[in-house]
Amino acid sequence: MAKQFTRPLVNAIAESKILGVRAGRPADHRFIGIWAVVVDGRVFARSWTVSKDGWYRAFLEDPTGTVQVGTREVRIRAVPARGERIRDAVEAAYAAKYNTPGALKFVKGFRSARRRDSTMEFVPR
């Protein structure tokens, strides 16, 4: 069975609006804030820019990194999410979690094909 985050950590991620994420080794990158969602106890995120120098591409080159939840840092591995069912569930989770008027344009934007394709799952390592 694959490793899973602890329930308290998953709950903290679910309740937090911003998740700190750092790709690679600490010397390689800094923490940046991203929007993350929880689906069936699993942690997912989508890249907004999908830029060549962003976190998503960095994880494609080296899937190891760290997430920061409050003061806690947890080593992770980023795994591209496959399958329309999970991508649909991630989309629904974004709509439920980020439901303020200012967030709606981003939630809608996360539905674009290139952003759906950037869906990553973070798993502990």
Q: pTM for the complete prediction?
A: 0.94
Strand locations in 5-117 (E): 19-23, 32-34, 36-39, 42-45, 64-69, 72-80
Domains of the chain in sequence order: 7-124 (2.30.110.10)
Rounded to a whole number of angstroms, the CA Rg of the chain reads 13
In the predicted structure, residue 24 carries a pLDDT above the cut 90: no
Task: Classify 4 in phi/psi space as left (phi over 0), alpha (psi -120 to 50) or beta.
Answer: beta
Q: How confident is the model at residue 2 (pLDDT cuts 50, 70, 90)?
A: low
Q: What is the pLDDT of residues 45-82, one digit of tens each?
A: 999 999 998 999 999 999 999 999 989 999 999 999 99
Q: What are the strands, taking DSSP E only, across 48-110? A: 64-69, 72-80
